[in-house]
Structure 1
Amino acid sequence: MPYVNIKVTDEGVTVAQKSELIKGVTDLLREVLGKDPDTTFVVIDEVPLTDWGVGGMNVAQYRAQRT
């Protein structure tokens, strides 16, 4: 019973994109590991930029510094 947790920043990921991610991950687990899609769980969490850190700062700060 695979459980996959995908975390992305909350920057307008559409329902269609999420559906594509869920299908793609499920298909990959079936193809590579032989896992049953009926028992494969995929969860997508959207994380605010200020709650995601990189380079010692949150993503919003990191991006602002790089421009």
Structure 2
Amino acid sequence: MPYVNVRITREGATAGQKAEIIAGVTDLLVRVLDKSPSTTFVVIDEVELEDWGIGGLPAADYRRRQPGS
């Protein structure tokens, strides 16, 4: 009974995009680990951008420092 928790920043992912993530993760576990889709749980948590950090920086600051931003 796999449980997968996906965390993304809250930046407007649509219900359709979330459904695609759920289907894709479920399919991956079916193909790779031969798990049953009926007992595979996928939960998507959305996190405010200011609550997300990368490389010791708030995500917004990190993005601003990336080339091409």
TM-score, normalised via structure 1 length: 0.90
- Cα RMSD for the two superposed structures: 1.2
| Matched residue SS, 1:22 | helix
- 2:27 is the counterpart of 1:53: no
| Matched residue SS, 1:44 | strand
5 Å-filtered alignment, 1:6-45, equals: 6-45=6-45
* 1:65, distance to aligned residue in structure 2 (A): 4.1
Q: Which runs of 5+ in 1 are unaligned?
A: none
Q: Which of structure 1's runs of 4+ aligned residues deviate more than 4 A?
A: none
Q: Percentage identity across aligned positions?
A: 61
Q: Which runs of 5+ in 2 are unaligned?
A: none
Amino acid at match of 1:3: Y
TM-score, normalised via structure 2 length: 0.87
In the comparison of the two structures, how many residue pairs are matched?
67
